[in-house]
Amino acid sequence: MVVFHVKRGDDNQFLYETDVNRDVDEVVKDIVAIYNGRLKVTRICYEMEELGKHGTFLPEEMQGLNEDQILELKLKDPWAERCAPAGYVICKDDMGRRCGLAPPTNMQEILKKAAETATEIISKKRVDLRECMTQKDISRALDELRGATKIVFPAGLPPHDPVRMELDNVEDLTGTQASKEVIDPSRACLWACGKKFLSGNKLSDHLGKNNKSKVTVKLCNQGDGAPGREPVMTEDERKQLMLHAYRKQEEWKKLEQDDDDSYLNSNWADSQCMKRQLNGLSNISWKPK
């Protein structure tokens, strides 16, 4: 199986294992699904942290308002108490995004642990560990998050809560920074070695028949142009080379500054040493009478 080291720009993303006989379109679709799935898990983990601190999301018309404004407009969140976890504690959200009915400490730990587990499943560290990622890993991370929310919020989350919308795949990212990170599968493409993988081809048309190789590929949008090529050496290799050059430079500086000629008194520097040894005149000590 050929292993793809998938990158987005210069950032490592994940390792992906496939076969050179697969279609390019099929592989691109699979890689995009994993990439977008990782983004989804990351977004949920962030919102889940806020969910544990301040409870469920407020309706859109109540967000950003202070208590006086809510009273003046006679607004009420119909989902707050209905969805509140058992034994909830009051913890107001200074941002005015959530209702303030937070889960108790033990329940917060469940959400926190689930987020940590999901983050570990999709971690970029798996590249260094040489562990490949699949859509099953994304599903496993989402199931971990979904199970935690059901335990902590047995009545469910409001339909407008970001965590529920993400888990139900009805999230609206319009106008957010997250929308710029998501890749449209219909516009996605892969590049490797300065060449674009063409739609309709098989991977073998670009990589040959060798099924035991590792290739660094970059995930891009159609029309973005060719991504930058990979550097000749890695950042660690470059640092080691610079360190070696610096050490050699310091050694030369020390040699240039060292003008001590005391070594001339050493036996090995005496041109007459061998002659005296042959004549038996070495190691002779003179004592006054």
Q: What is the pLDDT of residue 272?
A: 76
More confident residue, 147 or 65: 147
User: What is the value of pTM for the model shown?
Assistant: 0.78
Span 157-175, pLDDT tens digits: 999 999 999 999 999 898 8
pLDDT (0 to 100) of residue 238:
83
Token output for 15: 């390792």
- Tokens describing residue 215: 């290739």
C-beta atoms surrounding 82 within 10 Å = 11
229 within 8 A of 18, measured Cβ to Cβ? no
AA identity, residue 204: S
Question: Per-residue pLDDT for 33 more than 90?
Answer: yes
For residue 7, what pLDDT is reported? 93
For the residues of 64-81, what is the DSSP string, one character each? T--HHHHHHHT---TTHH
Report pLDDT for 139: 96
pLDDT of residue 261: 60
262, pLDDT greater than 70: no
Altogether, the residues listed in the chain come to a count of 289
Q: Does the pLDDT value for residue 178 go beyond 70?
A: yes
What mean pLDDT comes out for the span 129-148? Answer: 95
- Mean pLDDT is highest, among 31-35, 178-182, 195-199, for 31-35
Lowest mean pLDDT segment, chosen from 13-17, 35-39, 275-279: 275-279
Task: Name the average pLDDT for the chain.
Answer: 88
pLDDT range class, residue 235, cuts 50, 70, 90: confident
On whether the CB atoms of residues 158 and 189 are closer than 8 A, the answer is no
> Are the beta carbons of 230 and 52 closer than 8 angstroms?
no
What does the pLDDT read at residue 251? 84
Confidence of residue 264 (pLDDT cuts 50, 70, 90): low
Take residue 190 and report the two structure tokens written for it: 């892969």
Q: Are strands 195-196 and 188-192 parallel, antiparallel or unpaired?
A: antiparallel
Report DSSP letters for 229-269, one per residue: PPPSS-HHHHHHHHHHHHHHHHHHHHHHH----GGGGSGGG
Predicted pLDDT at 263: 59
Phi, psi for residue 250 in degrees, rounded to 5: -65, -35
